[in-house]
Amino acid sequence: MSVHNPDIKRVTTHTIQELKNKGEKISALTAYDYSIARAVDTAGVELILVGDSASNVMAGHETTLPITLDQMIYHASSVVRAVKRALVVVDLPFGSYQGNSSEALRSAIRIMKESGAHAVKMEGGLEIKESIVRVLSAGVPVMGHLGLTPQSIYKFGTYAVRAKEEAEAQKLIDDAHMLQDVGCFGLVLEKIPAALTKKVSQSLAIPTIGIGAGPDADGQILVVHDLLGITNEFKPRFLRRYADLHTIMTEAIAHYVDDVKASDFPNEKEAY
């Protein structure tokens, strides 16, 4: 069972900061729909990310790039309706903020107004500083994202570990401090060396959330479909599966098919 603090009635960005200050690890997961978001929230997760990974696990795309702002708002609205406790953060999708700070502000405001979410997340460092500052200036909380940034996959050409070389590691450190300085309330560190995660996390006042970044981030996040074993093709080293729902669901559905074929469902008790 979860050991979350029942005294926390509603998690806010302030709550997330307090957890770091106390040295208490922050639990985070993705969610994209009402039913799973209810379970994630009830279990005590502090931060729910409505990730653009919905493009992969919900729509079957190879990358996160195809998902649109309208689709992100749809998923975020579904999650917000389910959540009573967790902080809900929504990814700004590819193309909605990178090149134009005015477009970034419009995108962020649409997400906040139309979904009821609590914050947005944006991938990148110095190259998107203007957009981040513009969004923050409107009072929208922003979470940063450094390391492996999936929206830039065609630039990198691979999902390999980032920032192993000194120059890229130093840029990540510089970008992390810039994100803190402009006012981001936290940042995701994805698929970087554990030693770098520790260095960045210890040097920042704001919390870090790791994925494939070792144990020394202030919190951890996984894609909920991966954690539950709903998806079974994705098998990176950092993923720990806590269930095998793909097998459970497949076997249950196959049992249903057998019962229908055998005229065993519905039986007399299941008919009116």
CA dihedral 81, 87, 93, 96 (to 10 degrees): 100
Whether the CB-CB separation of 187 and 16 falls below 8 Å is answered with: no
Kindly list the distances between the CA atom of residue 27 and the CA atoms of 46, 91, 184, 204, in Å, as whole numbers in the listed order: 6, 18, 19, 19
Q: Which is nearest to 135 in space by CA: 96, 109, 98, 99?
A: 109
Q: Which is nearest to 184 in space by CA: 224, 131, 117, 222?
A: 131
Q: Residue 159's CB: how many other CB atoms inside 10 A?
A: 14
The span from the CA of 131 to the CA of 230, in Å, is 35
Q: Which helix (H) or strand (E) holds 101?
A: helix 101-115
- Residues with catalytic annotation? 190
